[in-house]
Chains A and B, each alone.
Chain A
Amino acid sequence: RKEVEQDPGPFNVPEGATVAFNCTYSNSASQSFFWYRQDCRKEPKLLMSVYSSGNEDGRFTAQLNRASQYISLLIRDSKLSDSATYLCASLEYGNKLVFGAGTILRVKS
């Protein structure tokens, strides 16, 4: 079983839709979590950190559910420019970030 798992998608949604991704992690000792965005042929860029109390930044909301060991990313009012691959990551012991394989989002007009 992979340490961090994501639905690869693609999620095809119309502009203005709300879309949510989940990401499960296997290491219950993981303390910190992140969502990264990666555009085609570009490097991953930090979208947001995920805190225990949840984290909201404009149209983006990240949640952590420790009991079920998953994190989620909610995108409201999707824009064409949100089309990208979204990577979740958990911080493991020894400063290692473990990444999921990514979820592809395509927002269509």
Chain B
Amino acid sequence: DVKVTQSSRYLVKRTGEKVFLECVQDMDHENMFWYRQDPGLGLRLIYFSYDVKMKEKGDIPEGYSVSREKKERFSLILESASTNQTSMYLCASSLNGYNEQFFGPGTRLTVL
């Protein structure tokens, strides 16, 4: 079974703090993704990566950056957290570009 893990289930940060969200997958998948999910808006893609050190902007990259130094690990960084970044953050991975994505359990981030 594919396993995607995320570093925290719940996180509370203050406005202006730097926030790191980590995601690890154990199935040697090529592609990794970061989404946020908000009520009524569904899942929106922030960034994705199809290889180590490669990254592509998704639909809402503003205010975020990512890092993929190792194939199994994909980090999402909020340089200066703001209240409008309070959300559920979901990491996903897929074998390649044509396969289904498998999700981690999510991190519920609250920015005060």
Contacts and interface: CB of A to CB of B under 8 A. Distances in A.
Interface of A: 8, 31-32, 34, 42-46, 49, 87, 91, 94-102
Nearest to A45: B103
A94 B56 contact: yes
A44 B97 contact: no
A42 B100 contact: no
Contact of B42 (A43, A49, A95, A100): A100
A87 B97 CA distance: 19
Contacts, number: 46
Nearest to B91: A43
B105 interface: yes
Contact of B48 (A34, A87, A96): A96
Contact of B100 (A34, A94, A98, A102): A34
Contacts of A99: 42-43
B45 to A, nearest CB: 6
A46 B33 CA distance: 16
